[in-house]
Amino acid sequence: MPFSSLGLPDFITKRLPAHDYEKPFPIQEKAIPAIIEGRDLLGIAQTGSGKTASYVLPILSNLMGNMGADSRHVNVLVLVPTRELAGQVADVFRSFSTFLPETVRTVSVFGGVSINPQMKSIRGVNVLVATPGRLIELQSKNAVHLSSITTLVLDEADKMLNLGFKDEMTQIFNLLPKKRQNLLFSATLSDDVTAVNQVLLDSPVVVKIEGDKENLSLIKQVAYNVTEDRKGPLLRYIIKSNDFKQVLVFTSSVFEAEKVVDKLKKNGIEARAIHSKKSQGSRRESLIAFKQGKVNVLVSTDLLARGIDIEDMPCVINYELPRSPKDYVHRIGRTGRAESNGDAISLITKQDQHHFKIIQKKMKRSVDILESDDIDLHGF
Ligand code: AMP
């Protein structure tokens, strides 16, 4: 099915191939016509499924001719769990806004940085992408008017609820006009998400994309059995011997992330840690350096497992396994995105073996396990 049969205007569909969007992903085929029609939508889909464009394109299309004259009022509100996702979603809105006959202004706001520049930047904005806490702050300072919102999007709703934003979200819902379109995206349909869905959505179109299986088939998964003391050298061996230029390494704690970065740097590998204890500026800078190839390895904790959009990430390494099998899938889903292949490598100690069996059972895939005892790690 081509993009042109989904109800999008020509000025959008004609320009999509220039963005390498040749044909719609499954979620886009289903979500775009429903959103254009004005329906509420529940999208159960992972990052990597193309969910961002599935709402950005129809929202921009619906905004044409409908933005109203009052520049103090926001038209579209997108709530997201993290600063990174806020930046990425706003970028997608902006990149597709260049196609449009009318100017659409998109701004992202998030906590952890000074509020004053954001207060100025949101004047005259059409699309506001926000983390819930900062939006409440801005609203309490009377910097933003939410009474003209026609479309509300909750992106990664499960993560927002996991991060404890439930009260802020409810507070925000109460500030919005009753008549509006609601779009809720979540990787999972947990009880919390179901509860939000029940208050928010009116006879929604439900789109469920079994993204895991599709995406996982593009990912070559292997694991190495390794002793705790050989983990660091093995990590460096894997990176160096494969000549990996872009690797995302996951640890389970901030402390371990810092330790791994330290050791990588001492061994001549350009690495940065990116986790919740880093400032927004430092996280953004690391991400840019990584995207530009100046940094080869990013070491991250699970907080950022989902929000980062780096196309064609060749390799993800689990230096430590996550506790939840779902997080394992989210982590390795950073590679094999947008229909390109990737490697996911896990380092498994004796204590991890049972847990790794559970992960494989839950994702319904078995992973090749290699022994690392015979690998000569001298000099790594
Ligand atoms: P998302 O799930 O929104 O994070 O999207 C994952 C990746 O897929 C992003 O890099 C998008 O730019 C890309 N993408 C989304 N839709 C399409 C499409 N129809 N064709 C090609 N790439 C796409």
Out of 283-297, 321-335, 354-368, give the one with best mean pLDDT: 354-368
- Cβ atoms of 157 and 136 within 8 Å: the answer is no
Residue 7 pLDDT? 96
The answer to whether the CB of 368 is under 6 A from ligand 1 is no
CATH number at residue 241: 3.40.50.300
Handedness of CA 143, 147, 153, 158 (dihedral sign): positive
* In a domain? residue 376: no
The answer to whether the CB of 110 is under 6 A from ligand 1 is no
Phi, psi of 46 (to 5 degrees): -85, 165
Question: For residue range 202-259, what is the model confidence (pLDDT) as tens digits?
Answer: 999 999 986 544 467 778 899 999 999 999 999 999 999 999 889 999 999 999 999 9
Instruction: Say yes or no: 150 and 20 in one domain.
Output: yes
Give the least confident one: 21-25, 71-75, 307-311: 307-311
* In a domain? residue 380: no
Residue 48 pLDDT? 76
The answer to whether the CB of 25 is under 6 A from ligand 1 is yes
The answer to whether the CB of 105 is under 6 A from ligand 1 is no
Domain endpoint, select from 151, 179, 210: 210
The answer to whether the CB of 338 is under 6 A from ligand 1 is yes
Instruction: For residue 353, give both structure tokens.
Output: 């073996």
Q: Is the pLDDT of residue 115 over 60?
A: yes
- Which atom, in ligand 1's list, is nearest to the CA of 20? 21
Instruction: Say yes or no: 109 and 142 in one domain.
Output: yes
The answer to whether the CB of 337 is under 6 A from ligand 1 is yes
**CA neighbours closer than 13 Å in the CB half-sphere of residue 220:** 7
pTM (2 decimals)?
0.65
Number of domains in the chain: 2
Range of the domain at 247: 213-371
Residue 84 pLDDT? 87
Q: How far apart are CA 121 and CA 179, in angstroms?
A: 27
- Which atom, in ligand 1's list, is nearest to the CA of 46? 2
Q: What is the percent of the chain where pLDDT is above 90?
A: 66
Closest residue to atom 15 of ligand 1, CA basis = 50
Task: Specify the DSSP class assigned to residue 291.
Answer: H
Residue 219 pLDDT? 86
Instruction: Say yes or no: 167 and 281 in one domain.
Output: no
- Cβ atoms of 314 and 327 within 8 Å: the answer is no
